Amino acid sequence: MMDLTRRAALGALALAASFGLAGPAAAQTTLKWAHVYEANEPYHTWALWAAEEFKKRTNGKYTIEVYPASTLGKESDINEGLSLGTVDIILTGQLFAGRAYGPLAIGGAPYMFRDFAHWQSFRNSDLFKELGEGYKKRTGHDVVALTYYGERHVTANKDITKPEDMKGLKIRVPDAPLYTMFPRAVGANPTPIAFAEVYLALSQGVADAQENPLPTIQAKKFYEVQKNIILTGHITDALLTIVSGSTAQRLTDEERQTLYSLLKEAADKCTDDIVKAEKELVSWFRQQGKNVVEVDRAPFREATVKLHNGPDATWDKEIYDRLQAIGASN
């Protein structure tokens, strides 16, 4: 009786294996994807979409759990987590990833791009690909995609129409050194504060101002504690999707190709959503009674670009010149 039972069990396992239900495919692996943005923002929405699609396309072999709103730590923490093995995928600012490989930060420097078209051309350029390869050589991790984060603008409770109006202004910036370049260029006082703590810092007067794209100002409700939104557009910002090298190595070539294709598609779809939101939000903020100021950006740009190749630069002049030449008319 025991032999018959054992034989039947072995037969069932063999049948299951023939349908791909046993062996490695049957073991489910959970990957962790971390970011610092809210669950109601497009970054999270499209991360969830990519996670679900990857689960479907690997027949349930992989599940990706997406952790929003600094659940797994601040931006510096999740960057470190790639090497520590605490996260598998992150969505992060270029200036944070640039701490590990300086040239990668160039895309997040103030007034580095002429306009959105220049940024798009950079995103699709050989230069961006080479910067990603340099980051991989330094860290072992894969830069897979670049998602448009939006133009960063200043919010404050004082009126600002020209660079001189920002002199001495205590403005919150993310905790990465290059974010201080623009405030220092216009004489402001940059104050690094973690993203999750910005609203409280503004409401308590720890900072007088902050800077972020319009969709983020809305999602994080910074407009509730700031009277003015000044459209400085000082950084055409973007987020990198990075996959841990150890995670990438565990995937088969087909699985890795599938995942990376989905991450790039999610970045494209999210970029479209952010572009659309930016166009709609100026009028929305005005409907909320906010003073949205369209300043002449030229003086702000002029004050800042002179710092591009100074001591703060984490790139060389050749990389800078190549970026500026992208999409430029002859």
Task: Report domain 28-325's class.
Answer: alpha beta
How far, in Å, CA of 137 to CA of 54, rounded? 27
What was the pLDDT predicted at 27?
74
Q: Using pLDDT thresholds of 50, 70 and 90, give the confidence band for residue 4.
A: very low
How far, in Å, CA of 135 to CA of 141, rounded? 7
What residue type is assigned to position 237 of the chain? Answer: D
Closest by CA to 250, choosing from 85, 129, 130, 92, is 85
What was the pLDDT predicted at 256?
98
Q: Using pLDDT thresholds of 50, 70 and 90, give the confidence band for residue 21.
A: very low
CB 78 within 8 A of CB 292: no
What was the pLDDT predicted at 67?
98
CA 195 from chain centre, in angstroms, equals 13
Q: What is the mean pLDDT of residues 257-272?
A: 98
Tens digits of residue pLDDT in 61-116: 999 999 999 999 999 999 999 999 999 999 999 999 999 999 999 999 999 999 99
What is the percentage of the chain residues whose pLDDT exceeds 70?
92
Tens digits of residue pLDDT in 276-319: 999 999 999 999 999 999 999 999 999 999 999 999 999 999 99
Closest by CA to 327, choosing from 128, 124, 121, 108, is 121
Q: What is the rounded average pLDDT for all residues in the chain?
A: 93
Tens digits of residue pLDDT in 117-173: 999 999 999 999 999 999 999 999 999 999 999 999 999 999 999 999 999 999 999
Sequence ranges of the domains in the chain: 28-325
What was the pLDDT predicted at 6?
43
Tens digits of residue pLDDT in 182-241: 999 999 999 999 999 999 999 999 999 999 999 999 999 999 999 999 999 999 999 999
Angle 126-139/116-123 helices, nearest 10 degrees? 60
Where do runs of H (alpha helix) occur along 23-125?
42-57, 75-84, 94-97, 116-123
Q: What is the mean pLDDT of residues 7-12?
A: 42
How far, in Å, CA of 283 to CA of 207, rounded? 26
Q: Using pLDDT thresholds of 50, 70 and 90, give the confidence band for residue 330.
A: low
Strands (E), 157-196: 170-173, 189-192
CB 141 within 8 A of CB 243: yes
